[in-house]
Every structure is written in C-alpha cells, then in structure tokens.
Chain A
C-alpha cells in the first residue's frame, strides 16, 4: 500500500464517518427517550398496569371515549373533549350515558376499524377483571347502539361519570379481535388506537414505541419513543445530564430540583399540580391514638406548610384532604378556626398532657425507603420530636412497606396516591368502612379503621355517590371533609407534584399543569 492509497482510504473513511454522523444526527432527532423510575416493565395492557411507571408507554398507545386536554384534568365535566367518541348525552338522573363513536378510527398493527363492539368488549373486560373493578362495578350494562354508538347504564347515578370511569386507564379502548387472538400475551403486546404503537416490549428494561401512521388525528411529530427503565436515581440523573435520555422521572426528594438545575440551567421541569396526595393514616386501634386529644396534638405538632415547603417546588399545602382548586378543597382561611390546626408544638404538648401523657409518648412506625415517603416521614418525625412524640421510624423496602400497611402493621401510615378531581375516590379507598384494612392482607386501604373503631363518613359517602347533580355532590363532599378534620383519622400532609425533568431542546407542544402521573408525547418536537 503506497502513500497515495493510504491517503485515499483515509479520505473515504472520513467521508463515510461524516455521512454516518449526519444520518445518526437525523435519527436522533426522531427519537424521544424517557428514563423511567422502575427496574423493568410489567404490562402494556392498561387494564392490568399495577406499576405506575408503565403508564408512560400505555398513555401514548391508548385512548378513551373522552379525554381532558393534554396536561390537565377535567375539573368540571365540560372540560372533557371528544376523543374516540364525538358526542355524548346524559339522562337527567345521570344513570344512562349515550356515546356516538368517531368513524374511521384505525387500530394499530392493521387490526382494522374501531366499532361499538370493541368499546363494549373493552368495558366488559374492565368490569370483570383488572385493577379498577370496585369503581367499574357501578356499571349495570354496556350495549352497542349500531356500529358507531354505545349506551352505558349505571347502577347508581354518577354526574362525574366522564372523569370517574370514561377517562381512566381501565376503560382504554382495545381491539377485541387482537385481545381474543392473543389471549394472555395481550398483557405485554398492546393494540390500541393512540398516536404511538408498540414496536417492542423488552421485559428486561424497555418499551419501544413507533408512530401510528394510521392515527385518526394529527400524527405524532417524533417518529419513535423509547421508555427506558433506569431505577437508580443517580444513574437516571446522570443520563439526562449527559443527554443519553431526553426526559426522566424526577427524584422527589427535598432540594433535588434545585440541585439538578444548578448543574444544568437549560433543563425544564414539567410538573402536575396537585400531583400525589400524601396522606397520613392514624391507626385508631393503636393506643393512645384512639384518643381524640392525642390526634389533635399530632395535628398541631405536624407543620404541614413546612412539609410542603421542604419539597418545594413540588410540594403543595393541604388544609384538608382535597387540594384547593379541587371540588371540596378548602383554603386554610375558609375553615372554621378550630379545624385549622396551626403548627403549635406547645399546644400539642398541652393536649398530650390533658390526654394523660405529660411526658410525651413513644411509638414506632414504618416508612418506605422510596425518596418521597422517606423524606416526608423523616420531616414529620423531627417535627413530632419537638412536640413530645418520639416516633421510632423503621424505613424499609417499598413493596414490603405497602404489604405491611395492607396487613394492619403500621401506626402512622403515609400513603401517596394521585387522584382526579373526584373527591369520593379518596374517601372510598382510604376512609370507607368497606375498605377496612385486614390483618390477613385481604382488606383495603382504610388503615385507620375509621368507620369501625369509631363512626365514620359512610352514610355521607353513600349520599354523595347517589347525588345526581355536581352541586349536591360537592356540598356533601365538603361535609365529609369537615367531619374528617374533626375526627382526624386521616391527615392531609401535602401534595407532591409529579415531576419530569426535560432537556431544553425538547418542546412538549403544550404545558403540563395537572392530570395523572403521565402525559402524551404526540405533540412533542426535538431540536438537534
């Protein structure tokens, strides 16, 4: 090989690498990568997802009859916009709901046009099985009304049907043909109607999506979405800083947002408000917490605004269980003075003394190791210490923590869950007698034993669930809130925004304001 040949070879190699760079450049612009805070995906069937993070993929692939606009909840029924249904009517008693379906909607992977048969199938399977059968049990029947119409009849009236049932993961419309054909395989092989379709479900740590070319609406702008599972918080943070991923589920610990912004000022934070509702169940069967004075002391000892402030900018203050702006959400100044429970350690000690504990009390409680739980509980622990409550906190594995809570093994049990603006969902899950926790683990999420250890809000809840107007519904929910503040079985600690850190070159195409802990990418664009 002489010198000229070497030179030629070099030139060719250089040209090839430049061309390669250019093409990988173009490819990069057409992929959106998000770092997911879990080790591996479990499901891609929206009726089965038990791991919240899996819904980042399902959110892109499925749609419901109606949806609120991207990045928000429907706070009022009229905030819902036509999606797979183009119009709907509700009977005066709020028992019968008629939907007219959009024509020409194509399923992914060539599974054909969506018809009323698919909608009936999707609803019926969610009533029978899945993660939301309690709420779904209010449906009496679902009938087709021609090829492009369905009628849904309820057992008891629900003026908020669109938000409580029609827009939920479980009532995503799936292809009947695909579901029957695939059987159990459907759990990880999705077929929906959304702007992205499943390209690859890798159980070791990724869900890969590509644009649904037959989408009925505006097609997705970026061709591919990769949901990459990176459970380790430091690894995920480094990946977003290095540009290996475009977005990441944030670390919801005090100071994290400031800390990462210090490192890269161009990052954007997408946050839902209110996000998660962080509540604290006071176990009424563990003494001395059966004593109202002790619970009042607890309430005065906990500095709820400080809990929210420590988690700034993600934390939000709760005056009661529902955040301000949601139905039945109060601002502190709207509450009767005796139910505001301002932070007052001295008053807490005084109440403890009146309850017969002049030297304070000691007890132990469990917390999850997940950063949002552990940091909130450590803050609460320190606040309680100043008021004479000595809480020995046992911090353990997240899954085991929930299993222990479910088996009635906790004294002060924190719970974090996000809810739509439908207050009764929280009451049903965390306060109702029907959801009482049981020692064998087969009970529900009422860890305080409210409604059993002492009279609860069950009658009011029934009334709220049977009201046919939104106004009546909200008025009863406000009564429930006040009674809970008087009885104190459940304390609203703070809200915690669900947060995603996004690199500055990604534009979502809309602003994230509220909604569940997931949002759509079909309007997103990427600058390279």
Chain B
C-alpha cells in the first residue's frame, strides 16, 4: 500500500475541461464573436508594422488635423500623424499591457493569498490587513496614485496595474486555499510528511487555479480600460508612443474639427473590453460552475 496510490484514487474522473470549453463556445455565438474579435486584434497587434499605412510617429506640418480621406482613413491629429496607424500600433500597448498586468498580479497575488491562507496566524493577519488596505481604494484611484509616484512608461504601467490588481487575486487565493486546505487529501499529505512547499505546489495551487484564471480574463478587460484611462490622463503610455487612451486625449483638441480619432479609439477600447468580458464570463462558467449565475 502506498499513499500516493490512494491519493490518485481520491480524484474523481471528470470530462476534460477542453471538451466542455469547446461545447460552450459552440453553444454561445456571442463568445465565438468575442474570440474572433480578440483574434483579429491580436493579429493586428502582431502585424502592426505590415498593416499600418504610415509611421505612427511621423509628423507632417502640412497635414494637421485632416478629416478622414482615402489617404488617411481616420484623418490626422494635431501633429499631422496618421490616426489609423497610431491606432494599429496602439493596439500593441493595450493588448500586451492587458495580458501582462493581470498575469503579474496573478503570480504575486496568488503567492500572497496562498501563503496567508495556508499558514494562517500572524502571517495571515499581516497580509490580510495589507490587502484590506489596498482593496479599500478603487483600482483606478490606486493606479493613479502609483502612476503619479512612478511616472509613465510601459513597464511602469504594467507595475502600476499589477499592483492595483494584486489585492483581488490575493483575496480570492486566500479564501480558496483555506477551503482546499481543509480537504482530506491535503490532510493526508500533511500526515504522510510531504513538505509544505510541495503540498502548496502540488495540491493547493492546481486546485485553486480555476478561479484565478477566471479573474485573470476578467481583469484583462479592466487592465485595457485602465491603461486607456491612465493614458488619457497623461499618466500612462507616454507621448509620442501611441495608445488608444492618448489618441482620445489628442483627439479632444480637435473634437470639433474631426471626431473620428475619438470615435475610432473609443470603439476599439469598447469592443476589446466587451470581448474580454464575454470570454471571461464563459471561462468562468466552464472552470468555476459554482459561481456562475
């Protein structure tokens, strides 16, 4: 008799999650559309240099604030830069930050949450109070405070947004860890002398992964929205680098002459955020059926 053999028998056989995911995708056309849209934006971001008709930074003083034309589909901005090219290159910032920030937040937040939930006691109290403190600020406010202190720039925004998201991940991870920790298979592992870190990595983390992945998808949408907000406020992506947020900001200067930069970038943000939210909902339904409505 080996404990390991018993352990494997404790896990009930389930249909593969991939199979369920494929079924749900087929069942829900809205999710299909969302996935397709995200796919299109990923392609645009990947092949930006090939797709953009102009250099997104090249200025032209004779073509300031042009309305849309065959030459410039979304017109030009106050420096005579092609708005469409800026939007295409701006999608890179939005998507990369949108994925990186929640990923980083998930790694740090989950670590904190698991440590707090698993060890309890003083460690838990310190981490939990810290998380309570951070969570009492709305994400945007927290992001603005940190961005104002750190300044703009690509990596700073990733750090700012990750920091703003960490408390949410930590809280979920802690609650899940506490639930999983009470499961018999964890107790069995403890009783058989498996090291703490091995228990955490092999038994806890895989079992709390589902809600964390759901959170990541949902926060991707928020990260894109917050990056746009910060850039709009001048705290995010720094000029002259394009981002959807600062395209709207620049567009406001000439809102009366041509509203197309604002409308175009606004639509891009709305559709990507909507798509990630729809996808997030679906993934939640698949991975975490208990919490779905």
Which residues of A are interface residues toward B (Cβ below 8 A)? 233-234, 237, 241, 251, 253-256, 258-260, 262-263, 306, 309-310, 369, 371, 374-375, 378-379, 381-382, 385, 393-396
Contacts and interface: CB of A to CB of B under 8 A. Distances in A.
Contact of A310 (B64, B238, B240): B64
26 contacts: A233-B253, A241-B256, A251-B253, A253-B78, A253-B253, A254-B78, A255-B65, A255-B253, A255-B257, A258-B64, A258-B257, A263-B256, A306-B61, A309-B61, A310-B59, A310-B61, A374-B239, A378-B59, A378-B240, A379-B59, A379-B79, A382-B59, A382-B79, A393-B238, A394-B151, A394-B238
Given A254-B61, A256-B254, 7 more contacts: A259-B65, A310-B61, A369-B234, A382-B58, A382-B79, A385-B57, A394-B238
Interface in B46-84: 57-59, 61, 64-65, 78-79
Given A393-B239, A395-B238, A255 B254 contact: yes
Interface residues of B, number: 20
B58 to A, nearest CB: 7
Nearest to A307: B61
Nearest to B238: A395
Nearest to A377: B239
Nearest to A385: B57
Contact of A254 (B79, B239, B252): B79
Contacts of B58: 382
B134 interface: no
A144 B112 CA distance: 78
B252 A234 contact: yes
Interface of B: 57-59, 61, 64-65, 78-79, 151-152, 234, 238-240, 252-257
Contacts of B240: 378, 381-382, 393
Task: Say whether chain A's binding surface is mostly helix, strand, loop, or mixed.
Answer: helix
Contacts of A395: 152, 234, 238-239
Residues of B contacting A: mostly: loop
A404 to B, nearest CB: 12
A310 B79 contact: yes
Contacts of B152: 394-395
A259 B257 contact: yes
Contact of B256 (A262, A369, A374, A378): A262
A258 B65 contact: yes
B194 to A, nearest CB: 51
Contacts of B79: 254, 310, 375, 378-379, 382
B231 to A, nearest CB: 12
A241 B238 CA distance: 31
B254 A259 contact: yes
Residue from B65, B151, B256 having most chain A Cβ neighbours under 10 A = B256
A309 B79 CA distance: 11
A381 B238 CA distance: 13
- Which one of A234, A255, A309 has the greatest number of beta carbons of chain B within 10 Å? A255
A278 B65 CA distance: 23
Contact of A262 (B57, B59, B64, B257): B257
A508 B240 CA distance: 40
Contacts of A237: 256
Nearest to A264: B256
A382 B57 contact: yes
A259 B259 CA distance: 11
Contact of A259 (B59, B61, B239, B256): B256
Contacts of A394: 151-152, 238
B151 A396 contact: yes
A256 B57 CA distance: 20
Contacts of B78: 253-256, 375
Contacts of A258: 64-65, 257
The 7 A-B pairs with the shortest beta carbon distances in the complex, nearest first, are A259-B257, A263-B256, A255-B65, A254-B78, A255-B64, A310-B61, A255-B78
Nearest to B81: A382
Contacts of A255: 64-65, 78, 253-254, 257
Contacts of B239: 374, 378, 393, 395
A158 B74 CA distance: 57
A371 B79 CA distance: 12
B153 to A, nearest CB: 8
A375 B254 CA distance: 14
Nearest to B257: A259
Contacts of A251: 253
A494 to B, nearest CB: 12
A106 B33 CA distance: 77
Contacts of B254: 255-256, 259
